[in-house]
Chain A
Amino acid sequence: MKTVKYSDIVEGVKKICMDANFDLGDDVLESFKKSRDIEESQAGKDIFDQLLANAVIAKKEKIALCQDTGFSVFFVELGDDVKISGGNLIEAINDGVRAGYSEGYLRKSICHPFTRKNTGDNTPAIIHVDLVKGDSLKITIAPKGGGSENMSRVTMLLPSDGIDGVKDYVVNRVRESGANPCPPIIVGVGIGGTFEKAAMIAKKALLRPIGSINPNPELAVLEEDLLKRINNLGIGPQGFGGRITALAVHVEMHPCHIASLPLAVNINCHSSRHKEIIF
């Protein structure tokens, strides 16, 4: 049995809240560089140059990559041999968010749905906990911006729609989103499960490094096909027209009910931010 202290979780979460917002992952930066070379439109190339310059400033000066420092979404893997001492895990994560968003000069973007009154500290965080075997605790933050989240959808297709129906829905979702979600985007696709499972695996799919190949060969082919079709839309970086509308498409699949074909499309902007800490 491993014991993890409440205060250590707060400190760790505080740090990854800030790191995620200042320090863009190498996979994203590499993808910008590669895409810049492929992009045919000059306005599109200029966008990649700006995004690369933006990442340098953000990291060096600790200014958030994007003013939308997002909803603080966490994926937690809690080993069944882990005990939290001094308090509750969910409260520790929320305390870490409060500290990180305050000390990091990050924007507090969470409000009441109707009055729109801001909660003032970016809580409550959205926290998904998976119980896993072992004695380690892994906490991943993926701050999620509102612009790209607003372009995401869950739909319940008919089984007869099949894989072609899935492909058409995903491509049309990106087409209709246009410039809104800050292309070049990353498209997370969740197929199967239930209404909420599809959404959850679509979001989780966004955590996979850009450029990685899906270990399921069937899905690897589907991802390649979707990426090609999406990049043929011509939306381009920031919607100004161009070759690169998406940097990657990541698909996750789960068995579903004999009556259903749930599908979720979770769109992420190019500022694909995530950091993790392991205890």
Chain B
Amino acid sequence: MAEIKITTPLTDEVVMKLKSGDKVLITGIIYTGRDSAHKRLSDLIDKGEKLPVDLNGQIIYFVGPTPARPGMAVGSAGPTTSERMDAYSPKLIKMGLKGMIGKGGRSKQVIDAMIEHKALYMAATGGAGALISKCIKSSEVVAYEDLGPEAIRKMEVVDFPAIIINDAFGNDLYMEGVKKYSR
């Protein structure tokens, strides 16, 4: 299947055109965040305080890269398991987050939030961090530097490959895949 090029920030129109199983190439700015950063963002939302980054229309990539070698934009940078962010993602989706990149299944609450607020969950190839690093052109810490690999980074990506797992219509590639190939 041909890959569909998309650029960030994502609009509702783009989100509604994509279906589970579609391969996309993402270009633009994406933000990174994993366990500890999500907890901090969630705490700020609960307190009604401003977030360190505006997530409206944005994509969060669940990743904690290895340190960059001198002269490199980033180190190895593949996705981490997404279920650990399930407790926090619905809140961020309500705030306008339009996409998440990770690996592994999501909870019903996250999937329902994606349907209600028009958002996408995509998978990048887990364990291909060296290969994926080639589409990351720059990376800069924009919040929570004290978290080290878990800090929030702003990354500039070009043709970052991902596959739509959950679209905004309730479809799920993981379930479709098992249905097709189980014996």
Residues of A within 8 A of B (CB): 40-43, 47, 50-51, 53-54, 57-58, 61-69, 105-109, 116, 118, 120, 146-147, 150, 178-180, 182, 232-236, 238-243, 269-271
> Ordered nearest first, which 4 A-B pairs have the shortest CB separation?
A241-B177, A234-B181, A234-B182, A182-B126
The yes or no answer to B105 lying at the interface (CB within 8 A) is yes
CB of A269 within 8 A of CB of B163, answer no
Some 21 contacts from A to B, beta carbons below 8 A apart, are A57-B130, A57-B134, A63-B75, A63-B76, A66-B78, A67-B77, A67-B80, A68-B80, A107-B66, A107-B67, A147-B103, A147-B126, A232-B182, A234-B179, A234-B183, A239-B103, A239-B177, A240-B177, A241-B179, A243-B181, A269-B127
Within the assembled complex, what's the spacing in Å between the Cα atoms of A57 and B127?
13
CB A101 to nearest CB in B, in angstroms, measures 9
CB of B81 within 8 A of CB of A241, answer no
CB within 8 A of A241: which of B35, B75, B133, B176?
B176
Contacts of A271 in B (CB 8 A): 127
The yes or no answer to B104 lying at the interface (CB within 8 A) is yes
CB of B104 within 8 A of CB of A178, answer yes
Contacts of A108 in B (CB 8 A): 148-149
Apart from A147-B81, A233-B182, A239-B105: 18 A-B pairs, beta carbons within 8 A: A41-B180, A41-B181, A51-B128, A54-B128, A57-B131, A63-B129, A64-B66, A66-B127, A67-B66, A116-B35, A150-B81, A179-B105, A180-B103, A234-B181, A238-B123, A240-B163, A240-B177, A271-B127
CB within 8 A of A106: which of B36, B66, B183?
B66
Known contacts A105-B67, A179-B104, A240-B173; decide if A66 and B129 are in contact (CB<8 Å). Answer: yes
CB within 8 A of B75: which of A50, A107, A147, A232?
A107
CB B80 to nearest CB in A, in angstroms, measures 6
The yes or no answer to B155 lying at the interface (CB within 8 A) is no
Query: From A55, which residue of chain B is reached at the shortest CB distance?
Result: B130
* Chain B residues numbered 123-145 whose CB sits less than 8 Å from any CB in chain A: 123, 125-131, 133-134
The yes or no answer to B64 lying at the interface (CB within 8 A) is yes
Within the assembled complex, what's the spacing in Å between the Cα atoms of A109 and B129?
15
Label chain A's interface by main secondary structure: loop
CB A112 to nearest CB in B, in angstroms, measures 12
Within the assembled complex, what's the spacing in Å between the Cα atoms of A232 and B177?
12
The yes or no answer to B90 lying at the interface (CB within 8 A) is no
- Most chain B CB atoms below 10 A, which of A51, A146, A236, A241: A241
CB within 8 A of A178: which of B78, B80, B105, B163?
B105
CB of B180 within 8 A of CB of A107, answer no
CB within 8 A of A69: which of B36, B66, B81?
B66
- Most chain A CB atoms below 10 A, which of B63, B125, B147, B181: B181
CB of A270 within 8 A of CB of B127, answer yes
CB A69 to nearest CB in B, in angstroms, measures 6
Within the assembled complex, what's the spacing in Å between the Cα atoms of A62 and B52?
33
Within the assembled complex, what's the spacing in Å between the Cα atoms of A58 and B78?
13
Query: From B128, which residue of chain A is reached at the shortest CB distance?
Result: A54
- Most chain B CB atoms below 10 A, which of A106, A179, A232, A243: A179
- Most chain B CB atoms below 10 A, which of A107, A108, A242, A269: A107
Known contacts A116-B35, A239-B104; decide if A105 and B68 are in contact (CB<8 Å). Answer: yes
